Amino acid sequence: MKTRLAIFASGAGSNAQKIIDHFKNSPLAEVALIGCNKPNAGVLNIATKENIDSFIIEREQYKKDGYTDFLHEKRIDFIILAGFLWKIPQPLIDAYPRKIINIHPALLPNYGGKGMYGSFVHEAVITNKEKQSGISIHYVDEHYDHGDIIFQATCDIVTGDTPDSLAQKIHQLEHEHFPRVIEEWLVGNSK
């Protein structure tokens, strides 16, 4: 039996697409479900194109039970957050202990927490004249960007970098590493 993954995303879905592509012919896992909290997000078009079930995450139900019964009905084993902006509710954390991971566009524990996503992260990193930034793939717990780190990769920040140019570097790191790290994580968890 293949491991069944759910991807939660809020935006265009470029990381979701890379993960879907990575596992398309994998004997290990498949992307079985995509959840999104924005009805017009591009990731839902990807779900349709790839013939993957999707659902809209409604705030009230999400806060109440995290859709745990629905996810169990769909036989979801692990949840991947790929640009999903809402905090994970306790019922979902309890139902999937150490089975939810997130990717963050900075080197945690720096530049994490509420409000630290997308261009806000890159602006803060540039403003503080950091020499490096990168990505952090981590377990999800009850706090924003707080769980144990699984993997980090870095990129240099050079004179003239802007939040936009840094975002491009970060996207490259995400696309290069996230699917592979997920696979390694799944292999490590299947023992």
**Residues forming the active site:** 104
Give backbone dihedrals phi and psi of 143, rounded to 5 degrees, phi first.
Answer: -115, 150
Report whether 57 contacts 35 (CB < 8 A): yes
- Non-local CB neighbours of 120 within 8 Å, separated by 6+ positions: none
26 is in an annotated binding site: no
102 is in an annotated binding site: yes
13 is in an annotated binding site: yes
| Distance of alpha carbon 32 from alpha carbon 34, whole angstroms | 7
40 is in an annotated binding site: no
- Non-local CB neighbours of 162 within 8 Å, separated by 6+ positions: 126
Q: Angle, to 10 degrees, between the axis of helix 14-23 and the axis of helix 42-49?
A: 20
Which residues line the annotated binding site for (6R)-10-formyltetrahydrofolate? Answer: 59, 102
The binding site consists of: 13-15, 59, 102
